[in-house]
Amino acid sequence: MPTGTGTTVDPRQARASYETAAVLGCTPAMYALAHCCADGLGGAADSTEALNWYCRAGALGHRKAHVMAQILLSRIAAVPFPRQQLQALAKQGDPQAGFELAVCRQQGIGMAPNPRAAFLGYLQAAKQGVIRAPGAVGRCYEQGIGVEPDREAAARWYGRGLARGDTALMLALAQRCLKGTARLTGTGICLTPPETPGTADNDGAAYLLRLAADLGSTDAADRLSKA
């Protein structure tokens, strides 16, 4: 449901289904629910709740959840970063682990920064269906992270992220529409350099916020209520 595999993209319903199964003790559902909480899929982003479900699944023997819990804990407490475990999971083909490893490679978390490896990791995660990955690929193209800058390629990847239901990307692009550095067109997204903003696209911003709100983003709903 969150990737639209075999049905329409519906992060909110997917999150509710994961929560139902997680409460009943299903560890894969706990793992999936933690992802939703961490990424703000189908509802508000909540890192504390994400950590809670990762830890609960890890305590029940879900190895991937244990590693993800260690990653979050390493960012907020004196817990060693699980570099080898994360790399092992990514090598085994776990999509979320591959995405997190790319983030760490880009930001130099627990390892030396490697922009090119980060870019390639985001590409692989996008192919594997990770919702946030197309937006990350788009940012790499726009900012020249591990690849030559290409605004047209960035816009195409942002479009894929929107189609996949990335509500955080919707919020970011809505803000850019208001600032005049992005606008929605009949054929997709047009990006403008931040140093030379154009006219604000208020309609585009409103559309993106409504889309994000319909997918369960409470941040988008709050912004619409204040508009």
Class of domain 81-165: mainly alpha
Instruction: Please state the domain extents for the chain.
Output: 1-80, 81-165, 167-227
- The stretches of 79-166 forming alpha helices (DSSP H) are 83-91, 95-107, 115-127, 133-143, 151-164
Instruction: Provide the CATH topology of domain 1-80.
Output: 1.25.40
Please check whether the two domains, 1-80 and 81-165, share a CATH topology: yes
| pLDDT for residue 13 | 86
Mean pLDDT by 10 residues, the chain (227 residues): 50 89 96 88 84 94 92 83 90 90 92 96 94 95 97 96 90 96 92 89 96 87 85
What's this model's pTM, rounded to 2 decimal places? 0.84
* The residue to which tokens 């890890």 are assigned: 58
> DSSP of 1-42, one letter per residue?
--S-TTS---HHHHHHHHHHHHHTT-HHHHHHHHHHHHHTTT
